[in-house]
Each structure stands twice: as structure tokens, then as C-alpha cells.
Structure 1
Amino acid sequence: MAKTLPRRDAPFEPGRTALLLVDMQRIWLEPGLDPGHADWTADHYFYRETAERVIPNQRRLLESARAAGVEVLHTIIQSLTEDGRDRSLDHKLTPIHIPPSLKEGLPPPELAPVGDEILLPKTSSGVFNSTNIDYLLKNLGIRYLVVAGILTDQCVDMTVRDGADRGYLVTCVSDACASPTPERHANALKAFGGYCWVTDTATVAARFDALALDRGAA
């Protein structure tokens, strides 16, 4: 008899669900800090979108996830060395280099790790390619991986595809992600939508809240 496969939007399970925030760092989120986009002013679409929609939605996800006992992980672009010699060739060519000592390379206070939440530095677009996240998630017993962050069409895209290839049931929270233009954001969601369940903050937060209620009743 054929084994029934789970749906991509299967209900999250307690103890097997994780929330991953991708590259939510001050250097990308605060106007005037990103050397690669020195021409972007504070009213640029990306800064308005992250400040008005993405960060508030991620705060809601974090609050619900933490209350439910959902594992929370953060990944940031950061070299392991001050001179960046450990970076990927792609980051050297771009160039992208955020040394460990750069405070602007950390998440903003409202999205910062709490307690012993895991923070993973990476020097690639895909967190699965330059960190031990797959090993960690398997050690933690994670099957359901909820992803939010920036950029939708770059590092989020890679995380979703690579996570799906490694056997996780991936959820992408569309209104907790952003790209430099709404077109890039929408096109990315359409392109990698076959690898995950694309939904919104309210739906995911409600699922986390339900897990919290079950946890309280146990």
C-alpha cells in the first residue's frame, strides 16, 4: 500500500517546527548603512516596505513562535574573520564583507535573538550552503521550516529551495519578506512557490497561537 505523503501546508507539529529569519540586519534595513546602495534614500520602496510591513510582521511571528515554544533561528551575512578571507568567492567578487566586529551587521533590537536562540553567520546566499543549519535542524527534530526575511529573490529564495531539497516542509511568509522592488518580490514568490507553502503572517501566527494553546493545555 502506497504511503500517504504530507501536504506542503500540513499543520505544524509541536516540537518539530522552526521559524527562520533570513538576513534581517541593520546594515540592510537602516538607510545610509549599506555601501552597495548608497544612493537609496529613506523613502526608497525597500526601506519603507521593511519598516512598515516586514519588520512588524516578523515581530508578530516572533511573539507567537516564542509563546508556542517554536524553535527560532536567525541567519545573517557575516564573515568569520575581520579581513573576510573566509568569504565565498561570490562575496569577494561582489564584494560583500561584514566583519564580526561590525555592530551594524547584527539584527535590529526588535528582531534580535532572545535567550539561547541560534544565530548563524553565513557567506553565501543559501544558509544551507555555508552553515551547519541542516545538521542543527535535524538534531532539533525539525520537519516544518517557516522562512521570512530578505531578499525574497535571493537569500530567501535559496533557503526555500535548498530546504525543500533536504526534505523539510517549507513555509514562506510572503508579507514578512521583501525585495528592492514589488515586481522582484512577486516574481520570486511565483518562481519558488512550487517548493513551499506560500502564505501570510496572519495565517502562520494563528497556527503558532494554536500550538501555544495546546501547549498550555498539556
Structure 2
Amino acid sequence: MIQSLPKRDEPFRRGETALLLVDMQRIWLEPGADPDHPELGPEDYFYRQTATETIPNQERLLKAARANGVEVLHTIIQSLTEDGRDRSLDHKLTPIHIPPSLPEGLPIASLAPVGDEIMLPKTSSGIFNSTNVDYLLKNLGIRYLIVVGVLTDQCVDMTVRDAADRGYLVTCVSDACATRTQERHDIALKAFGGYCWVTDTDTVVARIEAMGKAA
């Protein structure tokens, strides 16, 4: 007997759904905080896009998730040591180093973890490669993973592909992600769209709220 397969866009289930926020840190989102782009101000595309669309949409998703039984997890780029000796070779070569003591390495205030929400530091593009997130998600009973964050064509891309390979039904919320240009964002979504359900904030919020009402 052939077992029927799930659909990527099937309804979320309470107790089996998680929202993962990727790298929503002050260092990347506050103009002037990123040492690689100190010259860019609020008028830059990325900062405008995140301030006017990405962050507000994530705030809506967070509110809906917290109110309707969706597990919330956060990941940030951060070394475990102050000198960064534990970070990946790629991060050493780039170089990327955010020590645990750096305040700008934490999530922006409106997207910061509350209560006992889990936050995982990572030193690779993909959270599945440098944290125990797969172990945690399985312990939490998660099957449906909603992914948002920055950058669409780097850390979000890796997260979506790795999660799909590990058997999660992945949703990528397109207007709750961003990268340096609109073109890069669009190309990335088209490239990894086969690994997930790509949709928008309105649709996901409605799905989450419907799941909560059905419980």
C-alpha cells in the first residue's frame, strides 16, 4: 500500500508548529552598526526594507505565534567565546565574529525572545550545521517549520534547504525576509522555492489563527 504524502502547504497543527527567526540582530538591522557597511544609512535599500516591511511583518507573526500555541525559536550569529576561537573556518576567513558580550549581537527589542523562548547562537550560515536545532525540534515534536529572517539568499536559504532535507515541512514567509537588494531576494526565493512553501505574512497569520481557533 502506497502511503499518501503530505503537502507543503497543508494546515499547521497545534503542538507541531514552530516559528524560527533567523539573525534578526541589531548589528545587521541598525544603520551604522555593521562593521562591513558603516557608511550605509537608513535610506539604504536593506535598512528601508527591513524597517518598513520585514520587521513589522515578523512582529505580526510573533504576536500570532505566541497567542496560538506556536513554538518560537531564535537564532543569531554569535561566537561562544570572546576571541571567537570556536567559530567556523568560514567565519574566520570572512571574517565574522560577534562575541557574546557585544550588545549589538542580540536581537532587536521588538523581536527579542520572551519567557523561555529558545535562542541558539551559530557560527555558520545554516543553523542545522552549527547548533543542535534538529535535536531540539524533534524533542519539541515539531513537523511544520516557519522560517523568516535575513539574509534571504544566505542564512535563510541554508536554513530552508537543510530543514527540508531533514524532513520538516517548511514555510518561508517571503515578505518577512530580506537581503541586500530586491533582485537578490527574488532570485533566492525562486531558487529554493522547491524546498518549501513560499507565501506571505497575511496568509501565515491567518493559518496560525485558524489553527488556534480549531484547538
Q: TM-score, normalised by structure 1?
A: 0.98
Unaligned runs of 5+ in 2: none
SS in 1 for 2:180: coil
Residue in structure 1 matched with residue 101 of structure 2 by the alignment: 101
Query: What does residue range 78-93 of structure 1 map to in structure 2 within 5 Å?
Result: 78-93=78-93
Query: Within the alignment, does 1:33 sit opposite 2:68 as a pair?
Result: no
Deviations 1:56-106 (A, max 9, x none): 000000000000010000000000000000000000010100000001100
Would you say 1:205 and 2:205 are equivalent positions? yes
User: Which whole-Å CA distance do the structure 1 matches of 2:113 and 2:211 have between them?
Assistant: 21
Counterparts of 2:170 and 2:100 in 1: how far apart (Å)? 29
Task: Report the secondary structure of 1:53's partner residue.
Answer: helix
1:160 is matched with: 160
- Paired with 1:44 and 1:146, the residues of 2 have a C-alpha distance of 27
Aligned to 1:148: 148
For 1:98, the aligned partner's letter is I
C-alpha deviation, 1:214, in angstroms:
2.3
In the alignment, the residues of structure 2 paired with residue 127 and residue 96 of structure 1 have an alpha-carbon distance, to the nearest angstrom, of 15
Whether 1:196 aligns to 2:202 is no
CA–CA separation in structure 2 for the residues paired with 1:80 and 1:214: 41
Query: CA separation in 2, counterparts of 1:207 and 1:76?
Result: 26
2:11 paired residue number: 11
User: How many residues are matched?
Assistant: 215
Shift of 1:39: 2.4
Matched with 2:186 is: 186
Q: Deviations over 1:137-174 (max 9, x none)?
A: 00000000000000000000000000000000000000
Residue matched to 2:50: 50
- State the match for 1:24 in structure 2: 24
SS at structure 1 position matched to 2:156: helix
Residue 212 of structure 1 deviates from its aligned partner by 1.9
- For 1:168 and 1:42, the matched residues in 2 are separated by 36
For residues 71 and 88 of structure 2, the distance between their equivalents in structure 1, rounded to whole angstroms, comes to 28
Deviation (angstroms), 1:213:
1.5
Give runs of aligned pairs for residues 65-84 of structure 1, distance below 5 A: 65-84=65-84
**Secondary structure at 1:98's aligned position in 2?**
coil
Distance 2:95 2:55 in 1: 26
**Paired residue secondary structure (2:36):** helix
Residue aligning to 1:127 = 127
C-alpha RMSD of the superposition:
0.6
